[in-house]
Structure 1
């Protein structure tokens, strides 16, 4: 029997959980985010497929979502409900002879040995649906990268296989941004080098990429273009790489003193989270979203890992000083990053 990596992704997970709690919402555009009030500042956590048809997507400001889809039902996020639903899904997956590596509420990698991965995928989807009434999509790959990307072709509630055999047939002509690990900005930099498609990236000169992106990231981007990736799936419990807090202000902050005070408050909250984690932080980052919607992040490595609230607050203040606070501020965030295991 052959070894496979499967990637399971619950379809419109948060919205689906809310519809199960409120069956009368089935078939209607549902948007979840913030307090559920689209007149207040917050962003979309998830949107049902019906809402997505109107251009509503994760990260979109709720006010804009309401303009795009005025008939949508807006609901507040309920993390405990999503925790419980996710736990039920993962329990159903663990009943199979597979290794389950949880990635988040709504997705996981599975390591499996089977001669018929499509049949296994169908069984997994059926078991989750029977137990939780939630639909999932399954990507099948010969490594994690291909399995993850395959899920996108499987949605909604389907199964898709992406391997070395069909990699360039499926992905070759797609833009580099279609790759897991390459975002819009990196894709633009690759385009400046004349690399627009996955196939072009796979054929690129590693020396050219290394000069542009560095000796580590440059060759790694070419590896992504080839569809190469890790195959190890581990059942080790998820270990958080960071703890963060952020606040969206209903009215913009304009005074440096009030901005600094807000960052200090967030840093103290993060410090409590770090203490509860039982691991010291090695790096502190501050996120600032300026009006109307420009987001920037700065960070610095601490002299030594620490859990001390005063040190973390001081570091956050020092990072904030790296920003030019010349525009009104609508959101602030502080993140403490843990050392690599």
Structure 2
């Protein structure tokens, strides 16, 4: 039995973006599919009504994999991998474009389904949540099973869920039996199920910490649990060592945070080819305006306005610059955000090609705390008119 006083679940949708696409293209079920192509990856509808799909081997560009089906993962293709490398591993995989509007729609559906069981939900992103089930009646397996079924009925998609005494174990456990997993973990299960795992499976132990631990001969959570604290402290300091020691034993006292105030809302895009500020001005202008309007839409949807508008540019030599501008009044208006972002843009050199462009709004306030916001019309001026580089 799990602790009667604390039952924390972590729910993670299975290959979420890819699974949403398979609802749209059911003929691709069971095939290796990679999500992350641009507009060239939109399927072609043939005269007989069938569809011709792009193949990963035909991809040319510098994009990265957004996600992949489990069949593609069997070839070693995972999220954040460069698309060209993925094409070497799985050249015959189907390539599809991303559709974030669809993913957000299904995200809202699955979270609404879970909310029928409890309002003690911590939103961790588009495809995962923590749920405090401590006050929900019923055995852990039975409650988790009903939640999984509710998610499937609402979305047509599967999820994996782990119920454990804390967030640390619930997060790790939701990965253990994917896809469509239902996992129960108790503190006494830690040596058997958690200690054999690589340390990188623990949320909070990143690549750099994993490398340092490996250099000390520590590769698994169990080896971390048995490590000399003095040795760890020499390399990681007192506070992080204390956290590592607690984590390796499966201890975690963090509460499920039902509501939290975001510090900023941002959007960015990496171009498939480097764009020149003058020669590619129409493309950059379209992307720039789209980012501003999408950030504005995100603000309105989440009920916030913001005072500080910022931009982020990454040049073709990988240098990154940012600029910020604070408005007299907070806003969630797309034109106001675009106008301020344009002023930020004028304060950076536009003499090299660009590989990434981003727009951010910070210093947020709930919309009910702000008043007197005026909607301003979209200006016709292109944001890259300031570009005069060669």
TM-score, normalized by length of structure 2? 0.68
Find the aligned partners of 1:204 and 1:301 in 2 and give their Cα distance: 45
Pairs aligned (count)? 328
Using the TM superposition, give the Cα deviation of residue 313 of structure 1 relative to its aligned residue in structure 2, in angstroms. Answer: 8.8
Find the aligned partners of 1:212 and 1:32 in 2 and give their Cα distance: 39
Find the aligned partners of 2:139 and 2:167 in 1 and give their Cα distance: 18
Q: 3-state SS of the aligned residue for 1:88? A: helix
Q: 2:22 aligns with which of 14, 19, 22?
A: 19
Find the aligned partners of 2:257 and 2:360 in 1 and give their Cα distance: 26
Distance 1:70 1:138, change over 3 A: same
Find the aligned partners of 1:149 and 1:249 in 2 and give their Cα distance: 34
Unpaired runs of 5+ residues, structure 2, are: 42-58, 331-335, 365-390
The reply on whether 1:109 has 2:130 as its aligned counterpart is yes
What does the per-residue CA deviation read over 1:240-269, in whole Å, with 9 as the maximum and x for residues that have no partner? 3433343323444799xx9xxx9xx97x96
Name the residue aligned to 1:67.
Answer: 88
The reply on whether 1:91 has 2:112 as its aligned counterpart is yes
The reply on whether 1:9 has 2:12 as its aligned counterpart is yes
Q: 3-state SS of the aligned residue for 2:188? A: coil
Q: 2:73 aligns with which of 35, 40, 52?
A: 52
Distance 1:87 1:332, change over 3 A: closer
Find the aligned partners of 1:14 and 1:93 in 2 and give their Cα distance: 19
Q: 2:268 aligns with which of 239, 246, 251?
A: 246
Root mean square deviation of aligned Cα: 4.2
Q: 1:225 aligns with which of 248, 266, 287?
A: 248
Distance 1:156 1:317, change over 3 A: farther
Find the aligned partners of 1:289 and 1:51 in 2 and give their Cα distance: 32
The reply on whether 1:128 has 2:151 as its aligned counterpart is yes
What does the per-residue CA deviation read over 1:206-252, in whole Å, with 9 as the maximum and x for residues that have no partner? 4543443344333222222222223422332x543433343323444
Using the TM superposition, give the Cα deviation of residue 330 of structure 1 relative to its aligned residue in structure 2, in angstroms. Answer: 4.3
Find the aligned partners of 1:213 and 1:316 in 2 and give their Cα distance: 40
Distance 1:49 1:296, change over 3 A: farther
Using the TM superposition, give the Cα deviation of residue 187 of structure 1 relative to its aligned residue in structure 2, in angstroms. Answer: 0.7
Using the TM superposition, give the Cα deviation of residue 298 of structure 1 relative to its aligned residue in structure 2, in angstroms. Answer: 8.7
Distance 1:161 1:73, change over 3 A: same
Q: Work out whether residues 285 and 297 of structure 1, in 8 Å CA contact, stay in contact via their aligned partners in 2.
A: no
Distance 1:271 1:132, change over 3 A: closer
Q: Work out whether residues 68 and 77 of structure 2, in 8 Å CA contact, stay in contact via their aligned partners in 1.
A: yes
What does the per-residue CA deviation read over 1:75-96, in whole Å, with 9 as the maximum and x for residues that have no partner? 2111111111111111111111
TM-score, normalized by length of structure 1? 0.76
Name the residue aligned to 1:31.
Answer: 34
What does the per-residue CA deviation read over 1:21-73, in whole Å, with 9 as the maximum and x for residues that have no partner? 22222222221114254323321111111221222111122233333323322
Name the residue aligned to 1:181.
Answer: 204
Find the aligned partners of 1:220 and 1:335 in 2 and give their Cα distance: 32
Find the aligned partners of 2:311 and 2:346 in 1 and give their Cα distance: 10
Find the aligned partners of 2:323 and 2:244 in 1 and give their Cα distance: 25
Find the aligned partners of 1:338 and 1:192 in 2 and give their Cα distance: 41
Q: Work out whether residues 2 and 115 of structure 1, in 8 Å CA contact, stay in contact via their aligned partners in 2.
A: no
Bigger mean CA offset, 83-92 vs 59-68:
59-68
Find the aligned partners of 1:316 and 1:172 in 2 and give their Cα distance: 50
Unpaired runs of 5+ residues, structure 1, are: 322-326
